[in-house]
Every structure is written in structure tokens, then in C-alpha cells.
Amino acid sequence: MTRHDLGERARLALKRPDLLREAAWINGVWVTGDAVIEVTNPANGKVLGAVPALGEAETLGAVAAAHAAFPAWAARAAKDRAAILRRWFELVMAHRDDLARLMTAEQGKPLAEAQGEVAYAAGFIEWFGEEAKRAYGEVIPGHQADKRIVVLKQPVGVVAAVTPWNFPAAMITRKVAPALAAGCTVVLKPSELTPFSALALALLGEEAGLPAGVFNIVTGPPAPIGAVLTTDPRVAKFTFTGSTSVGKMLAAACMGTVKRVSLELGGNAPFIVFDDADLDAAVEGAMASKFRNTGQTCVCANRLLVQAGIYDAFAERLTNRVKALRVGDGLEGATDQGPLINAGALDKVERHIANAVAGGAGMLTGGRRFGTSGTWFEPTVLIDVPPLALLNIEETFGPVAGLVRFETEAQALAMANDTRAGLASYVFTRDLDRAWRMGEGLQYGMVGLNTGLISTEVAPFGGIKESGLGREGSHFGLDEYMELKMMCVGLAPAPV
């Protein structure tokens, strides 16, 4: 039975059609199944293909494969692992166009953004391959004259990773590359909405020389797969990117076997513009932060806090920029905004807008769904959003910029910090002292000062409070996959 729309497949126009895999990847074998999950293009609702709906038995098999592959992979010289990661990076970059088209088709983001994400994803493979060779331990002066203390860094073991749909490639390599570089083996469960990017990465990983069992992908519904990954004692480390509510449940399940846990959860990013800001830079920063991936990133500006003196000018310029955004199917010419991921996302955006307007917010542009197929929403700007509106207290995950007016720096800081989320925040000001005060005062894992784009493989990405645990990217990201082992060495007295 054909499980895809023929026109949709033709539109993909992949130079290497075999990059689209409709099978899971376990122990170096492509695994199919009778039950499947269809993958649709959110731009038009058409079926691109299907992946097997695997469950407990196959997940146990993948964990067993990763467990068996671990000793040999961990024992290889870091330089060897680095060479394989380097080849993987080169293959990903060589197939950038195909990977981007697949991503746009399954996720909806504009092709230029998908191209950018492929390079971002490859950057993690390159970076961590290089870092593998620098996983230095430490020698500590002994606490007694006849003692020496050495600290080794060793791979934690089998890593289970669960990744989201909003960045179908980069959120995978941000976890898998450091894990493999450290000497760990991996079982990945990608989002069932966007599995094709993950499977294409696995194919290229195999071509780069990753041995069977070192990187496994189980496709299927979250519950049975997650149940194994969070409870199997052979899994040493669990890493998740997704919603705060799901992250809390998964982390709790991991505690039964005291797994190491990293969580990259939801945000509620304040984007603060002071009267002394460079207005053009602030508007461009807001566009980049708010409308990247059609507002569907966890570091998207969620609340735009704008000082009274610049408020009207900022609102006007932002609205003009938003009106000029090209919204459309990324496979059909240059676009700036794509569809939202699904109907649930549309519902949430609508609910947030209705709630803000009911509370007194004004609409400057957008505000409606459109199109007869696909999940399309107009890029929207709202002003005078009440502080307690849903738009300000929940993560909207859509193309809606809601402006809130403030008067003083202290007021802005208090509003910004009044949330249990603590992922990303942004400040625009030309006052150096204020920039430092705000940078130090914001209770967030990341602060963008006069920039709306902060993500890179070379910097630590992660949140505080309920936005997560641990850091991804940078040399700190490698430590998440390594244990410290202390060896205390007792020395015999010197011969007389």
C-alpha cells in the first residue's frame, strides 16, 4: 500500500531519494513494521510517508544494542571517534540541500531557515568531534604528603534522547554528537511529527563509519518508548528537549534508576527594549527572535516589554516589518514564515490572542487563520497586552508579538523575572551600566544583549528554574555525557 502522496514526494525533488527512510534504525538494521505513523506536510496536510509505530519490544532491543556496542566504542581513541564525527559533519554539509528540503516538508519552516538549521546541526557534530580530543581530567595536589589525586572523565554509558519537532535535526545533534564524542552510545526517539530528518542523519552517520548499535533510532508513539527509556537500568543518562510538563514527568520516572538527566524545557522569554536602544537594531532583533521558525522556538521572544518613551515608534516599525513578511510553503519559493506544526498549535495561538484582546489589547496586524488546507496563521502584533494575559504567562509558540509598556528599569526587571521559566531573555540598551545590571539581574540561563539571535554550538545553551537542567553546546555540553572518577593514589615511602 502506498502511504504517501505522489505529488508531495515529487515536490521534494531530492538529489538522493534514499535519504527519505521509512524505517527505524536499530543495531545497524533498518527496521519496518506493520503499524505505522504517517508523516504529513503541515503546509498542506498531505502525507509525505510513514515510519513504523514501534513500542516496548523494539525499544528494549535498541537499548540492548546500545549497551552491547558501548564498551568497544568507549574504548576507541578519542581521535578515532573524532575522525568519524568529522566525516559525518562533512556528509551532512554535502547533503545540506536535500536535508533542508526534507525538513521543510515535514516541519514547515522556510527553506532558508531549514538550510540554516542543517548547518547549525552539522556545527554540533563538528564542534564535539573536535572537543572529544580535549576531554581532559585533572590532577589535584594530595591532601596528605603520600597521596596523589587524579580525576578521570569517562563516558556515562548508554544515553537515551527524546527530541522535539521544532528543530528536527539540530536538537538531535546537540545531544547525539557530544554523547558519541564522549564515548557513549545512543538510543534516540525523534518526534513522531518529524522523524525523516533524524533517519536521514542516521543514514549519513552510518556512511561516516558509526558502527552498528552506536546510534539507534526508535520511531513510534512516545508513551511505550519513553517508558523503556526512562526506566531501563541499562540507560545511564536521559536527555530531553520539549515541554516543561512532559519533562517533569520523564525526569521523575528516571529517578527510579537514578539516571543522569538533562532537560531543555519551555521558556517565556522577555524581550526588553529601553528608551535608549538603537531602534532599528531592536526591531530587527525582535523580528529574528520572535518570528524565527514561525515563533516556534523555546527561545522566541514571548513578551515584548517596551519602555514608554520608545513604545509607539517601536510598535509602528515592528508592525511595518511584520506586514512585509512573506508567508508561504517553503518548497514553493522564498518565504519568511511557514505554517504552524498542527491544529493544536493554531488553537493555542487563537486562545492567547482572544484572551489578550478580551483583556484590552489592541491588534495592529494579523490575528487570523487563513488558507483552506494546512495550518496557517497570520503574523500578528498586539499592543497593550495586560500583564496577566495568557500571552505573558504561557509560552505561545506562534507568530504573535505582544507588547507591554513599562516605565522604569526596576519595573522591567521585576516583570521579566516574574515567571517560573528561565531560559532565554533579551535586552536592548546603549547604556553599558544598564546592560550589565540587566544581564546580571535577569534570572535566565541566557541573555542576549542587543541581539535577538543567541544560539550557536560554541556557547552553553540551557535554562534555570523550571526551564531545565544542564547545558548543551560548548565544552560544558560534553561534560553532560561524562562522569568524573576520582582516583586517590597512596604512595609508598621513598627507599632510604
| Shortest Å distance, C-beta 109 to ligand SIN | 12
Return the number of the residue (48 or 171) whose C-beta is nearest ligand SIN: 171
Would you tell me the crossing angle of helices 195-208 and 96-107 to the nearest 10 degrees? 160
**CB 461, min distance to ligand SIN, A:** 6
Question: By rule CB under 6 A, what string of x and - marks binding of each residue 263-282 to ligand SIN?
Answer: -x------------------
Q: Give the contacts of 349 (CB within 8 A, at least 6 positions apart).
A: 340, 377, 396, 397, 398, 399, 400
Selected catalytic residue, list 184, 254, 298, 300: 298
Considering only residues 189-248, where is the footprint of ligand SIN by CB under 6 A?
241
Q: How many CB atoms lie within 10 A of CB 77?
A: 10
Closest CA to 362 of 392, 390, 384: 384
* CB of 388 vs ligand SIN, minimal distance in Å: 25
Task: Decide if 181 contacts 474 (C-beta within 8 A).
Answer: no
Piece of the chain touching ligand SIN by CB under 6 A; list 294-302, 353-361, 436-444, 482-490? 294-302
Q: How far is the CB of 101 from ligand SIN (least distance, A)?
A: 21
Residues 83-142 that bind ligand SIN (CB under 6 A): none
Of 155 and 398, nearer to ligand SIN (C-beta) is 398
**C-beta separation of 246 from 253 below 8 A:** no
Q: 243 or 365: whose CB is closer to ligand SIN?
A: 243
Candidates 264, 395, 409, 480; catalytic one: 264
Q: Is residue 298 near ligand SIN by the rule CB under 6 A?
A: yes
Cell of 475: 565544552
Q: Which of 163, 219, 297, 419 binds ligand SIN (CB under 6 A)?
A: 297
Residue 447 sits in the site that holds ligand SIN (CB under 6 A): no
Output the nine-digit C-alpha cell for 311.
Answer: 513604545
CB of 400 to ligand SIN, least distance (A): 16
Subset of residues 448 to 467 that bind ligand SIN, contact rule: CB under 6 A: 455
Position 364 contacts ligand SIN (CB under 6 A)? no
Closer residue to ligand SIN (CB): 127 or 167: 167
Whether 298 is catalytic is yes
Binding mask 152-171 for ligand SIN (x = CB under 6 A): --------------xx--xx
Q: Which three cell numbers stand for residue 442?
A: 535577569
Length of the chain: 496
DSSP assignment of 86-129, as one string? HHHHHHHHHTHHHHHHHHHHHH---HHHHHHHHHHHHHHHHHHH
Question: In a 3-state reduction of DSSP, which class is residue 371?
Answer: coil
For residues 166 and 319, which CB has a smaller minimum distance to ligand SIN in the complex? 166
Cα separations in angstroms, 33 against 9, 23, 220, 391: 21, 8, 10, 42
- The site that binds ligand SIN (CB under 6 A) totals a number of residues, namely 10
Helix axes 56-75, 222-231, angle to 10 degrees: 40
Whichever of 167 and 271 has its CB closer to ligand SIN, that residue is 167
C-alpha span between 45 and 342 (Å, rounded) = 9
Site residues (CB under 6 A) for ligand SIN, limited to 311-340: none
The span from the CA of 93 to the CA of 465, in Å, is 36
CA dihedral 419, 422, 423, 425 (to 10 degrees): 70
Cell, residue 343: 491544529
- Report the DSSP pairing between strands 380-383 and 362-365: antiparallel
Q: Which residue is nearest to ligand SIN (CB)?
A: 455
Closer Cβ to ligand SIN, 113 or 232, answer by number = 113
Answer yes or no whether residue 426 interacts with ligand SIN by CB under 6 A.
no
Separation CA 326–CA 138 (nearest Å): 53
Catalytic positions: 264, 298
Q: Which residues bind ligand SIN (CB under 6 A)?
A: 166-167, 170-171, 241, 264, 297-299, 455
